[in-house]
């Protein structure tokens, strides 16, 4: 089996992330949807890797197939690394993307631009029914904008200006532009190599 022929069940229930992961897995693996019978997986680990593993193991057990899961954190230096693993619920358990962005801007109020450094960190994990697993990471350094910029993307995209870009936020870029430098793109690029090596050593 080659990495290109591999079937992976996606652990994410977030449609925005599912669409992005599908794009990033093109030519690497075929992605199948999360089992509809599987309920919410409680992400109560203390790390991105731990939360990604909880989701991947649950989906692998429910589907009987290899599962891929990711978890992403936003680490803002001026906030001591917050929101970190709590990025998706920074403003509360039922927070919307807009709620989280508003809280981040409020918490960063008055912080000078050169001190608004931050990074997105994504951990991707693949778990197989036999217990094998692959864990990879992708990081994108950048800054938090003083106000929202652009209306594409999702999550904190309108507030994150990647250092490797041209001054635009992720939300001002096309999907292809974002996928050239994003944390998730870098993690899935690392996954591609890891899957190819795993396949070559099977059997």
Q: What is the CATH number of the domain that holds 91?
A: 3.90.950.10
- Residue 99 annotated to the active site: no
22-25: long-range contacts at Cβ-Cβ below 8 A with a sequence spacing of 24 or more?
23/175, 23/179, 24/179, 24/184, 24/185, 24/188, 25/68, 25/188
Average pLDDT, the chain: 91
pLDDT score recorded for residue 83 = 98
Torsion of CA 136, 42, 140, 15, to 10 degrees: 100
Residue closest to 33 by CA, chosen among 10, 17, 55: 10
pLDDT score recorded for residue 165 = 96
- Total count of domains within the chain: 1
| Rounded Cα gap, residues 16 and 19, in angstroms | 5
Give kind and range of the element (H or E) at residue 73: strand 67-76
| Rounded Cα gap, residues 152 and 126, in angstroms | 28
Is the CB of residue 21 less than 8 Å from the CB of residue 31?
yes
Catalytic, out of 71, 77, 157, 166? 71
DSSP assignment letter at 42: P
Phi and psi (nearest 5°) for 52?
A: -65, -40
DSSP assignment letter at 77: G
Q: Which residues pair with 117 in a beta bridge?
A: 143
pLDDT score recorded for residue 5 = 58
Task: Count Cβ atoms below 10 Å from residue 108 Cβ, excluding itself.
Answer: 18
Which residues of the chain fall short of a pLDDT of 70?
1-5, 197, 199-203
| Phi-psi label, residue 17: left if phi above 0, alpha if psi -120 to 50, beta otherwise | alpha
Structural domain including 101 reads 3-201
pLDDT score recorded for residue 141 = 98
Residue closest to 155 by CA, chosen among 83, 67, 50: 83
């Amino acid at each position: 089996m080659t990495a290109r022929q591999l079937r992976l069940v996606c652990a994410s229930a977030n449609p925005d992330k599912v669409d992005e992961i599908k794009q990033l897995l093109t030519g690497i693996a075929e992605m199948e949807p999360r089992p509809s019978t599987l309920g919410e997986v409680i992400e109560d680990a203390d790390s991105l890797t731990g939360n990604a593993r909880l989701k991947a193991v649950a989906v692998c057990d429910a589907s009987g197939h290899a599962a891929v899961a990711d978890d992403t954190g936003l680490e803002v230096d001026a906030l001591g690394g917050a929101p970190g693993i709590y990025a998706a619920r920074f403003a509360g358990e039922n927070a919307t993307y807009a709620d989280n962005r508003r809280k981040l801007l409020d918490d960063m109020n008055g912080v000078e631009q050169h001190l608004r450094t931050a990074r997105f960190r994504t951990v991707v994990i693949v778990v197989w029914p036999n217990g094998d697993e692959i864990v990879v990471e992708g990081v994108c350094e950048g800054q938090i904008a003083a106000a929202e910029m652009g209306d594409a993307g999702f999550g904190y995209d309108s507030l994150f200006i990647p250092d490797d870009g041209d001054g635009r936020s992720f939300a001002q870029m096309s999907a292809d532009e974002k996928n050239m430098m994003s944390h998730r793109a870098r993690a899935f690029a690392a996954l591609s190599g890891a899957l190819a090596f795993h396949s070559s050593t099977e059997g």
